[in-house]
C-alpha cells in the first residue's frame, strides 16, 4: 500500500488478533519488536500518530511500539500493513505509561497523585513505592 493511501490509526493501545509473520525477521535481535520472527496474537502495541512536515507539506503517519519490547515500526517496515490489519484498539493499561511519558512531559507529582487516585493508596505509600523502585534501579546500575 502506498503511503499516500495508507490509513492512519488513531493514537492509542492496540492488541494483535492473530499471529502475523514478519517478512523482515532477524533472529540475532532477540528483544526488538521490529525483528521478531512472528508477532503473536495477544501482543499489545502502542500506536503513535506523527506528522511529517516537508517544506510546508504535512502528512500524518503511524509508528508502532510493542509494549514491553525495544524498537518500533514505521510505515516503511515490510510487515507494517499486515500488522496494522490485525490490530484492534483496547483500553490503555499501565504498560503504556512509559510510552505516554515519552510523548508528553508528565511531572512526578502528577504521576504520584494519579497512582494515589487510581489505586486508592495514600500519598505516603505511593512515595515509598516509587522510592523503592528508584533504589532498585540504582542498585542495578551500580552492579
The pLDDT, as a whole number, for residue 124 is 75
Whole-prediction pTM value? 0.60
Tell me how far the alpha carbon of residue 126 is from its chain's centroid. 24
Measured CA distances, 2 to 22, 60, 70, 101 (Å): 19, 13, 26, 31
The pLDDT, as a whole number, for residue 20 is 94
The pLDDT, as a whole number, for residue 50 is 82
Gap between the Cα atoms of 78 and 100, Å rounded: 26
Residue 19 has pLDDT above 90, yes or no: yes
The pLDDT, as a whole number, for residue 2 is 44
Return the percentage of the chain with pLDDT > 70, whole number: 76
Interval 84-112: pLDDT, tens: 999 998 876 555 555 555 555 556 667 67
Amino acid at each position: 500500500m502506498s503511503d499516500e493511501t495508507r490509513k492512519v490509526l488513531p493514537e492509542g493501545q492496540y492488541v494483535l488478533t492473530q499471529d502475523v509473520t514478519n517478512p523482515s525477521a532477524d533472529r540475532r535481535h532477540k528483544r526488538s519488536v521490529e525483528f521478531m520472527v512472528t508477532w503473536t496474537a495477544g501482543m499489545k502495541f502502542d500506536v503513535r500518530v506523527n506528522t511529517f512536515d516537508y517544506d510546508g507539506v504535512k502528512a500524518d503517519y503511524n509508528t508502532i511500539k510493542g509494549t514491553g519490547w525495544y524498537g518500533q515500526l514505521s510505515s516503511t517496515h515490510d510487515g507494517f500493513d499486515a500488522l496494522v490489519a490485525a490490530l484492534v484498539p483496547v483500553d490503555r493499561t499501565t504498560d503504556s505509561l512509559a510510552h505516554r511519558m515519552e510523548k508528553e512531559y508528565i511531572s512526578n507529582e502528577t504521576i504520584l497523585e494519579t497512582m494515589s487516585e487510581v489505586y486508592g493508596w495514600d500519598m505516603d505509600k505511593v512515595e515509598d513505592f516509587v522510592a523503592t523502585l528508584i533504589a532498585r534501579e540504582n542498585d542495578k546500575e551500580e552492579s
